[in-house]
Amino acid sequence: MPEIANYKTPIEGLFLTGAGTHPGGSISGMPGRNCARVFLKSEQPFVQTLKDLSNSVKSTVGSVLGVF
């Protein structure tokens, strides 16, 4: 159902995660991580965006330079 895509539901403050959400039912923890990111962005959008950007830059620099 499109109404519950991206871990959000029509009910304010209710988020959906688990084996039935993207990326599926493997033992990776990714559905929970993705849902947590959506929740954090809904609570503090600017702060979380800055944290995500910082983590992306660190990851990229670490990959290129072989550090971190």
The residue ranges of every structural domain in the chain are 2-65
**Average pLDDT in the 6-28 region?**
82
pLDDT of residue 67: 66
pLDDT of residue 68: 55
18: left (phi over 0), alpha (psi -120 to 50) or beta: left
pLDDT of residue 63: 86
Quick one: how far is CA 24 from the chain centroid?
14
Q: Which of 31, 43, 27, 30 is nearest to 7 (CA)?
A: 31
Pair 7, 16: CB distance under 8 Å: yes
pTM for the predicted model, two decimal places: 0.57
Mean of per-residue pLDDT scores for the chain: 82
Q: Which residues contact 67 (CB under 8 A, 6 or more apart)?
A: 61
**What is the distance between the alpha carbons of residues 46 and 50, in angstroms, rounded to a whole number?**
6
Per-residue pLDDT at 65 exceeds 60: yes
